[in-house]
């Protein structure tokens, strides 16, 4: 593909109201609308296999933190490029500026979030930072005229000077604003901010991440906006309608009085030209029982458009009615312009844990293509108030299977397949939206399934959507609330949650067979390309191998669960890490062919980014593993690029051992060599013994 000029690309998107990065990456999702598209085209399907690692940066956490603390980290950050600085954050919210070409540290700021003596449930995550530049006529230069905006695990919003990394003294108190969650927390990390702040004009907007299933009367999921210069609160918006004059309140029964959550923990998007922001809201508290909030619970589990300057509601579209499955809206709403038969349409694309893709008009929130209300399974737990129907998109097919029976059980051997069959046969499994039960209910896809926080990627030139999905099962078992303490002690290795204030507690477990593989058939992770206009899946490929979970690093190409998203470029290459094996991958965006794998220190459960710097295209990804997934933790950010003139290309070692299957092949060779030596030694000893006798 020939490289498109910036002018040509902008003309293609004229009228969208959303600008995207040309060959930079100045916003978390690549642009305000989160398309994750770059016009950089130096790397192509023809030369991508020549990529080499050009620098690796370590945040220093491996040396500074103990192993137990590192097991609670999630290095999920995507850097941004601002001027001559690559900006990133560590799981402990240290903000770091690097030289984009060398990875050399320029400055770092440590907010010193509490690490010691914190609750075991605390997790440490930072997905990114934001940037603001003063456009006023009075100040375009000087200290803090360009600000790095960060938010922390202990609920602070911080403004730093871009040039020095020092706090901006005129923002809040000593450069920071501390958010009050509105009630005492049950543990310090019950209320956090984990996704990158959103900056629109002179307004900073942040959501929150709130601990699940502890209680009904949980912290509110209020979205907050601050003045970027002073840190003063500009507005707040609570997705739960507390105003008695709000017509949506009737859809909550009396539950609105105590219920919390419905928060926005995933990244948000903005359309500065329209002055709108777009929020993905989550489920109310608690996740798996909703009898105390009868009704559809409008604005929960929704895509919501607000005015950026005031927080005024413009529209809301609900993805799930009365959620009792933890089917949050987990991804950044993606803003794009579709070239349809009747002209251009500015849309919001929303992926879901169920594997659905909703496409909504950006001004009204109405579906571009029909969405049907279809009957779903009923007979919930005593006191439950299920919705009889749920919304199903009709144009774009579901990207994951949504029904499974015991006869579909998978196993590596007849023995573990039989074990999975027996587990599945005991549970309710009537397809999507089967309600939680005391019998035990299979959630398929599971709550980490379908499209998760990595979101979707959209190529605005070729009008193709890309999404990576997870396919596994959860078993959700309700129990009378009075049994919580006994069951918590009985199952120390399972997730046993009290849901205090509800009549039922909950056990959530991933259905895995005795040999450690999921009970549903592979692939367990898939990358797909979708033609939105035609409503057609163009190709699907398993994402990742079993190399890190199988004996001897056997790299079966079955796909594995993945956390993180992808990036697509004008060069026709799609980059993605995300999978549980230790690689950054490149795919041909047109055909889905896997073209290249770059070995990483550990798995990259983060979305990569790409940019051009001084005539060279770089691809950067965070490779830190994931404490909850059990893979090795690291503190690495790794950059790849094509060799410069006179620079060596990939070595034979990197083209063999550092690719999937390489370690298995070496292990087999070592085993065979060892076996040969043993046989040779035994035969030689036998002959020596025979000659003596």
Give the tens place of pLDDT for each residue, 224-258: 999 999 999 999 999 999 998 999 999 999 888 88
- Joined together, the tokens standing for residue 84 give 């001559």
Question: Band of the pLDDT at 376, cuts 50, 70, 90?
Answer: very high
* Higher-scoring residue by pLDDT: 119, 46: 46
Would residue 595 count as lying in a domain?
A: yes
The SS3 of residue 651 is coil
pLDDT at 424 over 90: yes
- CATH code of the domain containing 330: 2.140.10.10
Closest CA to 223 of 200, 257, 254: 200
Question: Band of the pLDDT at 69, cuts 50, 70, 90?
Answer: confident
Q: What are the residues facing 496 on neighbouring strands?
A: 507
- pLDDT score of 153: 95
Co-location of 532 and 680 in the same domain: no
SS3 content of the chain, % helix, strand, coil (to 5): 15, 30, 55
Question: Band of the pLDDT at 683, cuts 50, 70, 90?
Answer: confident
H/E stretch holding 402 reads none
pLDDT at 619 over 70: yes
Co-location of 683 and 583 in the same domain: no
Question: Band of the pLDDT at 18, cuts 50, 70, 90?
Answer: very low
Q: Where are the beta strands (DSSP E) in 248-403?
A: 269-271, 276-280, 302-307, 313-318, 334-340, 343-351, 357-361, 371-375, 389-393
Which residue intervals of 42-86 are DSSP H helices? 61-64, 67-70
Residue 39 has phi, psi (to 5 degrees) of -85, 0
Would residue 1 count as lying in a domain?
A: no
What's the mean per-residue pLDDT of the chain?
Answer: 91
| Residues 370-383, mean pLDDT to the nearest whole number | 97
Question: Band of the pLDDT at 651, cuts 50, 70, 90?
Answer: confident
Q: Which residue has the tokens 């069951």?
A: 487
Co-location of 610 and 687 in the same domain: no
| Residues 329-353, mean pLDDT to the nearest whole number | 97
**How many domains is the chain built from?**
2
Co-location of 649 and 679 in the same domain: no
Give the tens place of pLDDT for each residue, 558-585: 999 899 999 999 999 999 999 999 999 9
Co-location of 217 and 298 in the same domain: yes
Cα 659–chain centre separation? 25
Lowest mean pLDDT among 58-67, 421-430, 526-535: 58-67
pLDDT at 643 over 80: yes
CA angle 41, 46, 49 (to 5 degrees): 100
Q: What are the residues facing 374 on neighbouring strands?
A: 390
- pLDDT score of 163: 97
Closest CA to 191 of 214, 175, 168, 173: 214
Would residue 123 count as lying in a domain?
A: yes
Co-location of 127 and 197 in the same domain: yes
Q: What are the residues facing 235 on neighbouring strands?
A: 225
| 3-state SS, one letter per residue, for 426-459 | CCECCCCCCCCECCCEEECCCCCCECCCCCEEEE
Q: Which residue has the tokens 């130096």?
A: 42
CA angle 640, 646, 651 (to 5 degrees): 55
155 and 178 Cβ atoms separated by less than 8 Å: yes
Phi-psi region of 615 (alpha: psi -120 to 50; beta: other; left: phi over 0): left
Would residue 451 count as lying in a domain?
A: yes
Question: Band of the pLDDT at 22, cuts 50, 70, 90?
Answer: very low
Burial class of residue 640 (count of CB atoms within 10 Å of its CB; 0-12, 13-18, 19+): buried
Task: Identify the DSSP state of 463.
Answer: T
- How many Å apart are CA 347 and CA 351, to the nearest integer? 13
Would residue 397 count as lying in a domain?
A: yes
453 and 562 Cβ atoms separated by less than 8 Å: no
Co-location of 429 and 486 in the same domain: yes
- How many Å apart are CA 539 and CA 648, to the nearest integer? 35
Question: Band of the pLDDT at 387, cuts 50, 70, 90?
Answer: very high
Closest CA to 311 of 395, 408, 200: 200
The SS3 of residue 655 is helix
Share of the chain above pLDDT 70, in %: 92
Would residue 389 count as lying in a domain?
A: yes
- How many Å apart are CA 155 and CA 182, to the nearest integer? 12
Radius of gyration of the chain (CA): 25
pLDDT at 666 over 50: yes
Share of the chain above pLDDT 90, in %: 80
Closest CA to 633 of 85, 92, 52, 87: 92
Question: Band of the pLDDT at 1, cuts 50, 70, 90?
Answer: very low
| Residues 475-501, mean pLDDT to the nearest whole number | 96
Co-location of 17 and 122 in the same domain: yes
Co-location of 415 and 305 in the same domain: yes
592 and 529 Cβ atoms separated by less than 8 Å: yes
- How many Å apart are CA 247 and CA 241, to the nearest integer? 8
CB count in 10 Å sphere of residue 26: 20
CA angle 582, 585, 590 (to 5 degrees): 160
Co-location of 674 and 532 in the same domain: no
Q: 0.85 cut: is pTM over it? A: yes
pLDDT at 11 over 60: no
pLDDT at 26 over 60: yes
Residue 617 has phi, psi (to 5 degrees) of -90, 130
User: In this structure, what is the dihedral angle of CA atoms 581, 590, 595, 561, given to the nearest 10 degrees?
Assistant: 10
496 and 505 Cβ atoms separated by less than 8 Å: yes
| Residues 526-532, mean pLDDT to the nearest whole number | 98
pLDDT at 20 over 50: no
DSSP string, 619-646: EEEEE--BGGGTPPP--EEEEEEPPPTT
Co-location of 375 and 507 in the same domain: yes
Co-location of 547 and 688 in the same domain: no
Q: CB pairs under 8 A, 24+ apart, for 236-243?
A: 236/311, 237/306, 237/311, 237/313, 238/262, 239/263, 239/264, 239/279, 239/281, 239/299, 239/300, 239/302, 239/304, 240/284, 240/299, 240/300, 241/298, 241/299
Give the tens place of pLDDT for each residue, 37-55: 999 999 999 999 999 999 9
Range of the domain at 682: 661-693
Would residue 692 count as lying in a domain?
A: yes
- How many Å apart are CA 327 and CA 354, to the nearest integer? 7
- How many Å apart are CA 331 and CA 327, to the nearest integer? 11
CB count in 10 Å sphere of residue 539: 16
Give the tens place of pLDDT for each residue, 146-203: 999 999 999 999 999 999 999 999 999 999 999 999 999 998 889 999 999 999 999 9
CB count in 10 Å sphere of residue 383: 13
- pLDDT score of 7: 29
Would residue 339 count as lying in a domain?
A: yes
Residue 54 has phi, psi (to 5 degrees) of -105, -25
- pLDDT score of 4: 33
Catalytic residue positions, numbered: 326
Question: Band of the pLDDT at 628, cuts 50, 70, 90?
Answer: confident
Task: Identify the DSSP state of 611.
Answer: E
DSSP string, 336-377: EEEEETTEEEEEEEEE-TTS-EEEEETTT--BSS-EEEEE--
């Amino acid at each position: 593909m020939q490289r498109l000029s910036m002018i040509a690309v902008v003309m293609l998107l004229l009228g969208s109201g959303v600008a995207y990065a040309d060959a930079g990456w100045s916003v978390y999702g690549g642009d305000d609308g989160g398309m994750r598209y770059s016009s950089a085209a130096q790397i192509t399907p023809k030369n991508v296999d020549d990529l080499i690692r050009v620098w690796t940066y370590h945040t220093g956490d491996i040396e500074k933190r103990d192993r137990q603390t590192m097991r609670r980290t999630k290095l999920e950050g995507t850097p941004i490029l601002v001027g001559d600085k690559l900006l990133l954050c560590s799981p402990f919210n240290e903000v770091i500026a690097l030289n984009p070409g060398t990875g050399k540290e320029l400055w770092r700021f440590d907010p010193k979030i509490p690490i010691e003596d914190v609750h075991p449930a605390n997790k440490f995550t930072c997905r990114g930072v934001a940037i603001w530049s003063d456009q006023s006529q009075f100040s375009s230069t000087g200290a803090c005229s360009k600000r790095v905006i960060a938010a922390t695990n202990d609920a602070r919003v911080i403004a730093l000077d871009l040039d020095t990394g020092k706090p901006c003294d005129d923002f809040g108190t000593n450069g920071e604003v501390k958010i009050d969650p509105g009630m005492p927390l049950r543990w310090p990390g019950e209320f956090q901010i984990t996704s990158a702040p959103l900056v629109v004009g002179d307004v900073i907007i942040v959501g929150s991440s709130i601990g699940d299933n502890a209680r009904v009367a949980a912290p509110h999921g209020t979205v907050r906006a601050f003045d970027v210069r002073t840190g003063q609160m500009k507005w707040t918006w609570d997705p739960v309608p507390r105003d008695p004059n709000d017509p949506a309140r009737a859809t909550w029964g009396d539950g609105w009085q105590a219920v919390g959550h419905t928060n926005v923990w995933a990244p948000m998007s903005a359309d500065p030209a329209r002055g709108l922001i777009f929020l993905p809201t989550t489920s109310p508290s608690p996740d798996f029982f909703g009898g105390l909030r009868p009704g559809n619970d409008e604005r929960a589990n929704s895509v919501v458009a607000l005015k950026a300057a005031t927080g005024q509601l413009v529209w809301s579209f609900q993805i799930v009615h009365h959620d009792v499955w933890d089917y949050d809206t987990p991804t950044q709403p993606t803003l794009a312009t579709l070239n349809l038969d009747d002209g251009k349409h500015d849309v919001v694309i929303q992926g879901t844990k169920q594997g659905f893709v909703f496409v909504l008009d950006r001004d009204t929130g109405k579906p571009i293509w029909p969405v049907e209300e279809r009957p779903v399974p009923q007979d919930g737990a005593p006191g439950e108030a299920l919705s009889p129907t749920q919304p199903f998109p009709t144009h774009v097919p579901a990207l994951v299977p949504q029904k499974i029976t015991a006869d579909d059980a998978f196993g590596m051997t007849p023995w573990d397949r039989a074990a999975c069959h027996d587990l599945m046969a005991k549970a309710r499994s009537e397809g999507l939206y089967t309600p939680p039960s005391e019998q035990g209910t299979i959630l398929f896809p599971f709550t980490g399934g379908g499209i998760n926080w990595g979101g979707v990627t959209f190529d605005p030139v070729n009008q193709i959507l890309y999404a990576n999905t997870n396919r596994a099962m959860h078993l959700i078992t309700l129990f009378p609330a009075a049994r919580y303490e006994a069951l918590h002690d009985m199952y120390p290795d399972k997730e046993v949650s009290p849901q205090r204030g509800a009549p039922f507690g909950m056990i959530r477990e991933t259905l895995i067979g005795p040999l450690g593989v999921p009970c549903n058939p592979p692939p367990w992770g898939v990358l797909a390309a979708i033609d939105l206009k035609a409503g057609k899946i163009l190709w699907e490929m398993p994402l990742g191998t079993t190399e890190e979970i199988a004996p001897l690093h056997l790299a079966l190409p079955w796909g594995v669960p993945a956390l993180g998203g992808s990036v697509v470029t004008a060069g026709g290459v799609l980059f993605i890490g995300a999978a549980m094996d230790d690689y950054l991958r490149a795919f041909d965006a047109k055909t889905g062919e896997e073209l290249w794998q770059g070995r990483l220190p550990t798995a990259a459960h983060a979305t990569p980014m790409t940019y051009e710097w001084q005539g060279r295209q770089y691809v950067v990804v965070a490779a830190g593993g994931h404490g909850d997934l059990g893979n090795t933790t690291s503190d690495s950010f790794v950059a790849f690029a094509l060799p410069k003139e006179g620079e060596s290309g990939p070595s034979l070692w990197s083209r063999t051992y550092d690719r999937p299957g390489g370690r298995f092949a070496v292990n087999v060779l070592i085993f065979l060599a060892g076996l040969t030596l043993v046989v040779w030694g035994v035969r030689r000893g036998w002959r020596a013994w025979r000659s003596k006798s």
